[in-house]
Amino acid sequence: MAYNLIECNREQMYLMPVSLEDWLSEGHLAWFMLDAVEAIDLSQFYLKYRADGWGHAAYDPQMMVSLLLYAYCLGVRSSRQIERACEVDVAFRVITGNLKPDYSTICRFRSENERELGRLFTGVLRLCAEAGLVKAGVVALDGTKIKANASLSANRTQEHIEEEVRKMLAEARERDEEEDRLFGKDSRGDEIPEELKDRRSRLARLKECQERLAREKEEKIRSQVEMIEKRKAEEEAAGHKKRGRKPKEVAEVLQEEAKAKANVTEPDSRIMKTRAGYIQGYNAQAAVDRGQIILAADVTQEPNDVHQLHPMTEKTQQELKAAGIEEEIKSELADAGYWSEGNVAGSSPTDPEFIIATTKDWKQRKAMREQGAPRGRIPEHLSPRDRMERKLLTKRGMSLYRLRSQMVEPVFGQIKSRGCGTFMRRGLQAVRNEWRLICATHNLLKLFRSKVSKFVNKISPTVAIAPASP
């Protein structure tokens, strides 16, 4: 008796050449990614290369961009992991045309083209608009805290930083004196030891943190003095004490600032509070439409969202214009983190209608809903808060605000589930470009999973895009 099995012969020689088209099914994400990148204008990448054919041959930017976008879609962001995938993963080999760029090449391409990679967001948004996926009439705005490439334990107070700087400078002087004794005062001696190079870079970071803490201290004191003087002037004009919480005295602010910390590994990052505790990170912002397409993306160092309402509104309008989308934003939804009377009172005629929760307390929100929808004319004497609460109680306001959580919150969940819960780059601008790249891959996946994923065959080979500044 013999088994009827298909022979697995790993030494089999092939007479006919292998076709990459046979490696993956027609509807695979890798093929879609190649088509999508081909439809985006990559001229900014090619400007960095010589056009006369001289010099060492480089990998095609179109291939490298396709590789990074595909890797980010799968949550593979480490250069070394991407290199390994180019060896063992069939889809990655299709993307690269069976080429195998090493991790240093991938890392260098990403670091040298951070700005250009960030601008891909606008190009991808244009593709989504071409496919009819963008519905900009109602936009939801929200922020999420994402960890920085740094640890909480790397935070130091200004006093600690100053002490560490003094120690390092003293060690440097001792080292110089020792080298002068060994090699002579005017003699260079040997190359700078690696440990001294590390010390110098660390010293530069420490001084940067020192300067940042000093600047923030001066700014907070100046702002506090202005608040105190403003309140005093208002009380004098009214002839009585003003109600509400009094501003802190300058001495109290100075006492608090003495405890302020800066991260010596990633000076641009900040300590931020989340539901799971404190993290060292950034506040990533996103504006999302009803189809969960991200219309604008930005990163801020501020832990609160209250100052991001108008900047993100303006940025969303700029992105829509840059992507060739003519539809205007009619309503913008935001949670209580964006609420302030100044945000509403300071709206311009070009701003959309803001629908913002006025409190985070669910008991207060429940009590407000139980009041029922208001009727009649809006009283003229109402404050901006009362007007917003009245709008939220209307049938239209309630139905619109109910959309907010189903529009934007799942987007952050989807992004973090793909392993993008920590930034890999350091520095505010680098992190901002990385966040835009992450959001671009989110939109690409939405486009791929839609019913119109084959649209790229119907549009012009290259869509010229005027990208918005990241």
Give residue-wise pLDDT tens across range 30-47: 999 999 999 999 999 999
Q: Which two tokens stand for residue 1?
A: 């008796």
Average pLDDT over residues 414-428: 91
pLDDT of res. 148 = 92
d(Cα 461, Cα 49) in Å, to the nearest integer?
22
Average pLDDT over residues 283-291: 95
Torsion of CA 417, 418, 419, 422, to 10 degrees: -80
Query: What is the pLDDT confidence band of residue 350, given thresholds at 50, 70 and 90?
Result: confident
pLDDT of res. 342 = 87
Q: Which two tokens stand for residue 83?
A: 């290199």
pLDDT of res. 255 = 55
Q: Is the dihedral of CA 269, 270, 274, 276 positive or negative?
A: positive
Query: Looking at the predicted structure, is the pLDDT value of residue 184 above 90?
Result: no
d(Cα 7, Cα 394) in Å, to the nearest integer?
71
Torsion of CA 269, 275, 278, 283, to 10 degrees: 10
Lowest mean per-residue pLDDT among 16-25, 32-41, 437-446: 16-25
300 forms bridges with which residues in the sheet?
283
Average pLDDT over residues 152-170: 63
d(Cα 465, Cα 48) in Å, to the nearest integer?
18
Q: 39 or 26: which carries more pLDDT confidence?
A: 39
Average pLDDT over residues 205-231: 69
d(Cα 96, Cα 67) in Å, to the nearest integer?
7
Q: Does residue 414 contact residue 404 with C-beta atoms inside 8 Å? A: no
This prediction has a pTM of 0.77
Query: Looking at the predicted structure, is the pLDDT value of residue 147 above 50?
Result: yes
Residue type at position 35: D
Lowest mean per-residue pLDDT among 78-92, 208-222, 266-280, 424-438: 208-222
274 forms bridges with which residues in the sheet?
277
Among residues 109, 157, 39, the alpha carbon closest in space to that of 455 is found at: 39
Eight-state DSSP code of residue 247:
P
Query: Looking at the predicted structure, is the pLDDT value of residue 204 above 90?
Result: no
Question: Which tens digits make up the pLDDT trace of 231-286?
Answer: 777 767 777 776 666 666 656 655 554 556 677 778 888 888 888 888 899 999 99
The residue whose two tokens read 């080999």 is: 93
What does the mean pLDDT of the chain come to? Answer: 80
Burial (Cβ within 10 Å: 0-12, 13-18, ≥19) of residue 280? buried
Torsion of CA 20, 22, 25, 30, to 10 degrees: 0
Between CA 163 and CA 95, with CA 426 as vertex, the angle to 5 degrees is: 160
Average pLDDT over residues 156-176: 59
Q: 153 or 202: which carries more pLDDT confidence?
A: 153
Q: What angle, rounded to 10 degrees, do the helices at 428-449 and 114-130 form?
A: 30
Between CA 167 and CA 178, with CA 173 as vertex, the angle to 5 degrees is: 125
| Long-range contact pairs involving 276-281 (C-beta distance under 8 Å, separation at least 24) | 278/152, 279/145, 279/147, 279/148, 279/152, 280/147, 280/148, 280/150, 280/151, 280/152, 280/154, 280/155, 281/145, 281/146, 281/147, 281/148, 281/423
Q: 170 or 91: which carries more pLDDT confidence?
A: 91
Query: What is the pLDDT confidence band of residue 49, given thresholds at 50, 70 and 90?
Result: confident
d(Cα 55, Cα 49) in Å, to the nearest integer?
10
Query: What is the pLDDT confidence band of residue 196, given thresholds at 50, 70 and 90?
Result: very low
- DSSP codes joined into one string, 341-356: HHHHHT--TTS-EEEE
Average pLDDT over residues 381-394: 85
Eight-state DSSP code of residue 225:
H
